[in-house]
Amino acid sequence: MRIVGLILVVILGSVLFYGSLAFPPWGDPASPASSHLSPYYIEKAMEDTSVPNLVTAVLADYRGYDTMFETIVIFAAGIACIVLLRTFKETESGSRLYRHIPTGITLKIDKKGRFPEDSVVFERIDSHWVPHDLIVKTTCRLIVPFIQIFALYVIAHGHHSPGGGFQGGVILGAAMIIYAIAFNLRSAIRRMSERSAVMLSSLGVFIYAGTGALCMLFGLNYLDYSALAGLLGVDPVTARSHGILIVEIGVGIAVMAVIVTLYYNLASAGRHDEGL
Partner 1 sequence: MIWQIEITILIIVIILAVGALGVKDLLGAAILFGAYSFMMCLLWAIMGAVDVAFTEASVGAGVSTVMFVAAVFRTSRRTED
Buried-exposed string 37-74: b where 16+ CB fall within 10 A, e elsewhere:
eeeebeeebeebbbbebeebbbbbbbebeebbebbeeb
Interface with partner 1 includes 164 (CB under 8 A)?
Answer: yes
Q: Which of 78, 163, 204, 250 is in the footprint of partner 1 by CB under 8 A?
A: 163
Interface with partner 1 includes 246 (CB under 8 A)?
Answer: no
* Residue nearer to partner 1 on the CB measure, 164 or 212: 164
* Residue nearer to partner 1 on the CB measure, 49 or 56: 56
Distance in angstroms (rounded) separating the CA atoms of residues 74 and 56: 19
Interface with partner 1 includes 174 (CB under 8 A)?
Answer: yes
Buried-exposed string 103-128: b where 16+ CB fall within 10 A, e elsewhere:
eeeeeebeeeeeebeeeeebbbbbee
* Residue nearer to partner 1 on the CB measure, 1 or 120: 1
Which residue from 231, 235, 236, 237 is spatially nearest to 218, judged by alpha carbons?
231
Interface with partner 1 includes 173 (CB under 8 A)?
Answer: yes
Contact by Cβ (8 Å): 217, 231: no
Query: In the stretch 88-107, what mask flags binding to partner 1 with x, by CB under 8 A?
Result: ----x---------------
Q: What are phi and psi of 234, to 5 degrees?
A: -130, 175
We find the least distance from the C-beta atom of residue 236 to partner 1, in angstroms, to be: 25
Name the one range near partner 1 by CB under 8 A: 32-40, 162-170, 210-218, 219-227: 162-170
Q: C-alpha angle with apex 208: 219 to 37, nearest 5 degrees?
A: 75
Name the one range near partner 1 by CB under 8 A: 16-24, 36-44, 204-212, 265-273: 265-273
Q: C-alpha angle with apex 79: 187 to 169, nearest 5 degrees?
A: 60
We find the least distance from the C-beta atom of residue 206 to partner 1, in angstroms, to be: 23
Chain positions contacting partner 1, by CB under 8 A = 26, 53, 55-56, 59, 92, 128, 154, 162-164, 166-167, 170-171, 173-174, 177, 181, 259, 262-263, 266-269, 275-276
